[in-house]
Amino acid sequence: MATEIEKAIVTNIQGYSIHDGPGIRTVVFLKGCPLRCVWCANPENLDARVQIGFNRRLCKGCGRCAAACRYGAIVPGDAYRVDQVNCTACGECVARCFYDALVRYGAERTSEEVFEEVRKDKLFYDASGGGVTVSGGEPMARPEFVFELFSRCREDGISTCAETCGYAPRAALERVLPVTDLFLFDLKVMDPELHKKHTGCDNAPILDNARFLAEKGASILFRQPLVPGYTDSEENIRRMAEFILSLGGGYAIELMPFHRAGAPKYAALNLPYEAEHLTPLTEAQIARARDTYLDCGVRCIVSK
């Protein structure tokens, strides 16, 4: 079995990403995430399976999708909808749609295929000190895939960066650690109860994994989604700063202020958008959070 090439469900391979690690990077989004954060901006990457999304705004009601569907999963109503139960995500409807109203989230790709795609931008990595970033979803759910991809990148002189929520088996991190140049490690909430409430998972394994990577001397940039009423309390920030300082190594944290850009994708997947009531933070609120980190002695940058 060792010779079999690893596969993963890839939602998107996005070139010219300049906010996910050093230089100009290509971000590979893998599908499937163990957490269910209220504020998630990429709901298409929650479910590990391929899904069909539908954007009502773009639909012209031509009906070509319904005619193409062999499973009766296109339900004509006031506009056409995808019945996620009957849908096999075969993509026939997507291929028929002229207006990009239907979109297929995810396709199975081998690590080799993804590497070939990533390698095309080597010119830009070389010019900028960039490389590949795997994101998601949770890439640590596919450690062999990431390992193969990163190993090939390394051979080709392409830098490697993994974004993780930290909720992963220790073995997964151990596997990718030797081939990863930088971890973008997300931290949300320090209080275990609140963490469970807002993300659906325990934060103990996450903090353990962070400690593990720090002990191994990994390069880490911590990242915190700054979500009003969820993660931005002064107490939470101070506790998180304390945790980061306890790791030693002078790690920094990057704040990712909440935005609502993911909302249309919830609608496309017919999912409830629980962050509907949240409003983006003001500059002053963001600055306050940053200053609290700085006050605690943790280097802090705000993502732009």
By the criterion CB under 8 A, which residues form the site for another protein?
A: 14-16, 18-19, 23-24, 26, 98-99, 120-121, 123-124, 126-130, 304
CB of 16 to another protein, least distance (A): 5
Of the pair 46, 65, the CB lying nearest another protein is at 65
Q: What angle do CA 66, 67, 71 make, to 5 degrees?
A: 65
**40 closest CA partner among 266, 294, 223:** 266
Of the pair 73, 101, the CB lying nearest another protein is at 101
CB of 24 to another protein, least distance (A): 6
- 120 exposed, middle or buried (CB, 10 Å; 0-12, 13-18, 19+)? exposed
The rounded distance, in Å, linking the Cα atoms of 241 and 193 is: 19
CB of 277 to another protein, least distance (A): 24
Backbone torsions φ then ψ of 261, nearest 5 degrees: -65, -20
211: tokens are: 């400690």
Of the pair 25, 195, the CB lying nearest another protein is at 25
The rounded distance, in Å, linking the Cα atoms of 89 and 106 is: 9
CB of 301 to another protein, least distance (A): 9
Of the pair 118, 140, the CB lying nearest another protein is at 118
218: tokens are: 């990994």
CB of 255 to another protein, least distance (A): 13
Of the pair 2, 284, the CB lying nearest another protein is at 284
